[in-house]
Structure 1
Amino acid sequence: MEELKRLLIQAGDEYLTGLSNRGMVKRAYKDLEQETPEVSWNGNEAEVRLKDAVCRIKVPLGDSACSCPSRSMCRHRIAAMIFLRKGLEGESGEKTSDEKINPEKELLSVPLRRLQQACRIKAYREFLSHIERGEYPRIEEGSTVTVQIPWENVTVKLLSPLEYSTCTCHSRELCAHKAQAILAYQLLKKTITPGQLKTLEDNRENPDRETVLQAVRSIKEGIRLQLMTGLSRLSPEAEESMERLAVICHGAGLPAFESRFRGAAVEFRQYFTRSAAFREADLMGRLLFLYRDAVRLEQAGPEEMRSLAGTFRDTYERVPPLHLMGVGSSYFKNKTGYEGERYYFLELEQKKWYTWTDARPSFYEGIRRRPPGNEKHAQAPWGLNCSRGKMMELEFYLTDAKAAKGGRLSVSRETKSEIVGNRDLSGKEIREMVIWDYRRLFQRQMIQNREPVLAGAVHCKKGRFDTVKQRFDMEIYDVQGNCLHVAVTYSKEERLTIRVLERLSGRLDRQEDSPLVFFGIPYLEEGKICLYPVEYFDGAGLCPSVNGSESGQENRRDVGALSAGVIRAAEQCLQEIRVTLSDLFQSGLRSVQPETLSQMYSMEREAAGLGLHLAGEELSRLRGQLESQRHQIKSDPEPVIGIWVRLMEYITLGLQRTQMDLAMAGMRENSLEGEETYESE
């Protein structure tokens, strides 16, 4: 009873406001003006009878009960506490002092790890980023500690006991907002430092080593089984095996491995359903490189392990105000199990590309698909009062926007938008971004990085659809006659894109050349520079003269002493080595065919003759290991897989280099031919 009386005397109006709200405390005072409750003390409880309710007040005060149907703190309980407090003040002559109730000790004793867990990853990182920029929540101290968190637009009232603290999100648990408020209070009292918060976050990003090593053992065992058995002898359950390994990686905190295993599952499904999209060498390379990285995880220190593990979610940080122009959007579907739409924007002040992706998982069964074309009519993000299709025709500002690495924008409640007007694709900013000399794609490494580009075309050849490859291809030329292939492979999602390009090609065939600008993603394929088109628009007024800055001879780049013929021979040799390794992947290490070993011997000699000495040496080692293990009942696959991995790394890098060199050589030849063609015309 004494403890209850002490708490009641200490519970001033500010504390009661924290338990409920200011309006409820005022209402309780008015109710007490109309009646005098009856009080009876029973041990550590006090029963207070009001006209329309009976309250039982006990320790802690937040646990008090009332006969009314309210599930939260009601006006009856507040009135009962006020009445009891006034009665005790009259008996003892002691006035209420809010200073006596101080939640500081309890708030400072909450463990940092518990607060981090309550915040979850996203809220904790956001809190940390604001603190690092010197943006602290506003704190008012008293018997209730009031914390205003401006970036969340919430107010938290911290009380003692802590479980009776309130938040404007109305959560009764220790929500992320309450956790951030306690962190802010602990920072104010200097019981923790921003450095400790950062260290704790860095340590959380480090996967648990023992859990990772258990996952690595499962990864290596699963991939070894695939490589030993051979693709031709695997059952359709191989797809489920990859999904199982993806789940193991998720549980071990290895998101980079998880997504790659989901990609492997998709490729196995393509193989067993005889999909034309399946590429044997791609699946082989994926499994070998997964095995390589699993071995690296075993030997990695904390930093390298964190790098190899990847992150589940990108960190989005606040960026300065953005002045954006919608340029185009495209559908995507990747092998990691996601599909959706990607929207491209040009930041007019920085001349930098930003994207927003609306992605959804496609690896769950029974998921509802969005009907094709509906995304254009969906509501635009960031409070823009229009559809997404209309958004791509606008120029607008974003304030308090958040972006991840690579300019990936997020949709945040804090982000505000302001429409400037319709986009102007003939403006100065666009003019400066258009590339009229395709050789610049090599100099800026746009192809290697697959950066969005605006490619100007002064001439377009009539496009055609290859019924064998199921692919539309249209050649476009810059002011120097350099060629770029606008190419789209057929799928039901790309059907409309191909139809638009076919109509464009037909129109261009019937009229004189007029400059066009294609917006898309450049890439290399079969020694040619290709462009996946996202959008195109009229280039009149944007095209420079042939003698302009884009046409300078200093931009020409030769491939050196190597001719295109030598490069093609090296490329052919690398491709044949890859085919030989694919044969090994088909048969498996348990059933190596004599023809495969014979082919390896031939490829050794050919590689050495072309100067690909490392490839020849690794092939020789691989052949020697396979021959020595052919007649062994039990053999160790590790040495063979190690050589196999190194060969695939060499082939992958070699083909990338030959593709680049062939593209540059072809561009140089086309440039000379193009100049002659334009002169004759």
Structure 2
Amino acid sequence: MSALIPLYAQIDDAALEAMASKGIVRRARADAANVTFEALDADEIVGTIEGATVRLDAKGLAKARCTCPAATLCRHKLAVVFALRTQAGAPAAAAPVAEIDWPGRLATFDRKILLKAVGKTGLREALRLLALTEAMTIDAGQATLKVVLRLKAEEIEVAIPGQGDFGSVVSGLAERRRPAGHAAAILAARRHFGHDAIEIDDAEAASEQATLAPDPALLGIMQDVVCRAYAQGFAVPSRALEERLMLLAVSSRAEAMPRLSASLRRVAEGLEQRRARNVNHDPVELLRELAFAHALLFAVSQTKDDARLRKLAGTVRAEYEPIGDVELIGLGATMFETITGAAGVTGHFVEPATGRRLTATLARSTTHDTRFDPRDGYRNQAVWGQTLARLSSSTFRLTGAQASSTGRLSLSQTSRAETIQPFKPSRELVANWTQDASLAALAHASWPMLADHLSRCFAPTLDAPPPSAQPLVLLPSRIAPVAFDDLSQRLRWPLMDASGAWIALTLEHDDEGRGLGARRIAALEAALGDGGTKRPFAIVAIARPEAGKMVLEPIALWGDGQMALDFPERAPTPGKDVVSRLMAGLRRTVAQFAPPPPADLSVRQTARLLQGGLDALIGFAEAGLHASARDRLLAPLAKTYQLASLAPLAHLVSRTIASHDSDTSAAALATAQGLFTLQGFTSRLQVWT
């Protein structure tokens, strides 16, 4: 009898249900009688059922292969497992001779074993999942310990067998989520049976960073895998390549370089989305991440300066760090929705002593969580003992504050908001901010100076991660009516500074009159459309680069008080009829109020050229880097860039064309990084007179 048969025959129903579902398990049990075994060898078992061929080896059921198109654990694999029980002489999973000592079993999964299995990043994620768990169930069966973690947005069900290493633990989680999910279940079970808690030693992490010495051999392997991800991932994405990237990302040496580790994870996730044909997959973003990872690997391997090496690697530290007691001013709050379904509300604050912008966010990872309403959370959910509705329009002291490197504040209950006073902005106060050394980067009254500030703020650099969207307070001398721009299909709100220069704030809209854009349009029209309404003297806006341009979106109006566009006191309920009426009224000529922005043909042409280059590189990868694709896609591109006086880009493309097969991916990714970098430098706020 094959030694593999007992390995699979001992898998009980609880483990199978954790990997699939009760319905699939029931159907597979009924299908087991139809399984035919082609091989029962020592190193492989081959079974067929209904035209599908299943192959099992010593790697376990999670690594089993089936010829059916199912992306997850299919009923064919389960049917073969049930058939193997019969082969082993056990129609049902036999009870073990001795009762399993679960406390002793879980004691084998100590800190050293878990770190070896999932790395520090995986263990941190496991601790985060455990902290977010609202309820848990631990059910000890005859052969398997079933652990269910109930979070707000999901349930994680994991089965821990009575024997085997970390790899024997099973679940139905996506492959990239299994390490952290399985570790979280083990931590929960250890707690249930009274074992000591396992924690991350941040002092140890800091010590490791103090002796940062990148391994040239490991960097070479990473570069090779990233190049293969470009050469193969667009044409034939594979699960093996994703697994390789994830293993490299969680390796201890990679975790000493957090920016690189995070980039490799994002590449793996992008490849997984592409392989699964996810509607949210963006090939340009996948190319951007590949180009960044390749450039970062090259820079780390070539850098000898210790200070720059630490910048490239990033900082190993906890997500939040204590920043003491801070005085804060609320700038307003915004709602957000992402393409992946996340929804929430963010409060924006500034520390006047330093000018540092900080945020606090209430969110859920999916809109299917009907228990969470961002608007209700804004008005009613406690944050540091208060609500975001009150804090986002007040001045207060936050005691025991903790913040991440990106400026996100922890919502820990150990922090408290005290000495809260309503914030009453005035024109004189904001004007003084523009002259204050700490707040000059926040408040602006000169648009050319604002454009220069944003260009510096969002200038691309490999030495630091790109900044997030930045809140600004604008102090215009003249405000024109809101209008609809047919060219950009956005609402345009022109503002003039004291020198006669103009900029335009924009708002997205949709034809159906739904979503956040429609609500903001309705709120803005309600605030500005009434001729008797006093115009605001200042506008709070969010700045971010977007497709070669700098975009400013209004989020709050400051007049007699503060009004957040996402949470107005009065606004018509957005709907198709309401928004259609507003759009019809806004499709008017505003030249009598503000000169239209001139057509920036050079910037637009440059943006098209850069996007054309990115599309060509993606097409080249999708064609498997075939020689015909070089001639068809890259050769014309090199000539175009030369004629457009973009000689550095023309040189990069020409080098890709002339490269040998083994160097083509590296040359193409270097070209992509050049395109993305120039795209970042061309993102400038349009100012006109």
Q: In 1, Cα distance between the equivalents of 2:511 and 2:543?
A: 19
1:614 to 648, 654, 657: 648
Q: Quote how far apart the aligned CAs of 1:584 are.
A: 1.1
Letter in 1 for 2:448: R
2:84 paired residue number: none
- SS at 2:674's partner residue? helix
Q: How does 1:271-670 map to 2 (within 5 A)?
A: 271=274, 278-299=281-302, 306-311=310-315, 313-314=317-318, 319=323, 321-331=325-335, 341-358=345-362, 370-377=372-379, 379-382=381-384, 384=385, 386-405=386-405, 407-411=407-411, 415-426=415-426, 428-433=428-433, 434-445=443-454, 448=458, 450-456=469-475, 458-462=478-482, 464=484, 472-479=490-497, 480=500, 482-488=502-508, 495-505=515-525, 508-509=528-529, 511=531, 515-516=535-536, 517-525=538-546, 528-538=549-559, 564-589=600-625, 591-594=626-629, 596-625=630-659, 629=660, 635-636=661-662, 639-660=663-684, 663-664=685-686, 667-668=687-688
What is the SS of the residue equivalent to 2:426? coil
Distance in structure 2 (CA, Å) of the matches to 1:174 and 1:599: 57
Aligned to 1:108: none
- SS state at 1:593 partner: helix
CA-to-partner distance for each residue in 1:20-60, whole Å, 9 max, x for gaps? xxxxxxxxxxxxxxxxxxxxxxxxxxxxxxxxxxxxxxxxx
**How far off is 1:603 after superposition?**
2.5
Paired residue total: 439
Higher helix share: 1
Correspondent of 1:226 among 203, 224, 229: 229
Return the alpha-carbon distance in structure 2 between the equivalents of residues 611 and 341 of structure 1.
Answer: 45
Once the two structures are TM-superposed, the CA of residue 657 in structure 1 deviates from its matched residue by: 2.9
Sequence identity, in percent? 18
User: Once structures 1 and 2 are overlaid, which stretch shifts more, 640-649 or 411-420?
Assistant: 411-420
1:353 deviates by 2.7
Give the C-alpha shift of residue 224 in structure 1.
2.9
Q: Following superposition of structure 1 onto structure 2, how do residues 113-132 of structure 1 map, counting pairs within 5 Å? A: none
In the aligned structure 2, how far is the partner of 1:235 from the partner of 1:315?
32
| Contact kept in structure 1, 2:227 and 2:666, CA below 8 Å | no
How far residue 647 of structure 1 moved from its aligned partner, in angstroms, is 1.7
Shift of 1:443: 2.9
Higher mean displacement: 488-497 or 580-589: 488-497
Shift of 1:336: 11
The AA in structure 1 aligned to 2:649 is A
In structure 2, distance between residues paired with 1:282 and 1:489 = 24
3-state DSSP class of the match of 2:447? coil
* 1:21-100 matches, cutoff 5 A: none
> CA separation in 2, counterparts of 1:598 and 1:519?
48
Q: 1:129-178 CA deviation, whole Å, 9 max, x = no partner?
A: xxxxxxxxxxxxxxxxxxxxxxxxxxxxxxxxxxxxxxxxxx997999xx
Conserved 8 A contact 1:215-1:249? no
- Given that residues 471 and 542 in structure 2 are in contact (C-alpha distance below 8 angstroms), is that contact kept between their aligned partners in structure 1? yes
Please give the root-mean-square deviation of Cα atoms over the aligned residues, in Å: 4.8
Deviation track 1:341-396 (CA, whole Å, cap 9, x = no partner) reads: 4321133455543323456777xx999984443431454343x3x32323223321
TM-score of the aligned structures, taking structure 2 as reference length: 0.53
Distance across 1 between alignment mates of 2:292 and 2:511: 29
* Aligned amino acid, residue 290 of structure 1: A
The whole-number CA distance in structure 1 between the counterparts of 2:613 and 2:309 is: 32
* Higher radius of gyration, 1 or 2: 1
8 Å Cα contact 1:527-1:658 kept in structure 2: yes
Is the Cα–Cα contact under 8 Å of residues 547 and 683 in structure 2 kept in the other structure? yes
Partners of 2:513 and 2:365 lie apart in 1 by 16
2:683 match: secondary structure:
helix
Unmatched 5+ stretches in structure 2: 1-119, 125-193, 434-442, 459-466, 563-598
Structure 2 CA distance for aligned equivalents of residues 239 and 368 of structure 1: 33
1:592 shift after superposition: 3.8
Paired with 1:502 and 1:304, the residues of 2 have a C-alpha distance of: 48
Q: Are the structure 2 counterparts of residues 583 and 406 from structure 1 closer, same or farther at C-alpha, using a change threshold of 3 Å? A: closer
Q: Give the 3-state SS of the residue equivalent to 1:588 in structure 2.
A: coil
Query: Residues 316, 233 of structure 1: CA spacing in aligned structure 2 closer, same or farther, 3 A cutoff?
Result: closer
Residues 465, 389 of structure 1: CA spacing in aligned structure 2 closer, same or farther, 3 A cutoff? farther
Q: Deviations over 1:315-341 (max 9, x none)?
A: 766556533222222345789998754
- SS of structure 2 residue aligned to 1:285: helix
Displacement of 1:526 in angstroms is 5.1
- Residue 419 of structure 1: SS of its match in structure 2? strand
- CA 1:328 to 1:506, structure 2 compared with 1: closer, same or farther past 3 Å? closer
Q: Provide the C-alpha distance between the structure 1 equivalents of 2:301 and 2:196, rounded to a whole number of angstroms.
A: 40
Question: 1:543-566, CA deviations, whole angstroms, 9 ceiling, x for partnerless residues?
Answer: xxxxxxxxxxxxxxxxxxxx9544
Q: Where does the alignment leave 5 or more consecutive residues of structure 1 unmatched?
A: 1-116, 122-170, 180-196, 542-562, 630-634, 672-681
Distance 1:567 1:343, change over 3 A: closer
Of the structure 1 ranges 434-443 and 263-272, higher mean CA displacement relative to structure 2 is found in 263-272
Q: CA 1:519 to 1:223, structure 2 compared with 1: closer, same or farther past 3 Å?
A: same
Q: Is the 8 A contact 2:234 2:621 kept in 1?
A: yes
**Conserved 8 A contact 2:641-2:650:** yes
- 1:617, distance to aligned residue in structure 2 (A): 1.9
Q: Compute the displacement of 1:453 (Å).
A: 0.1
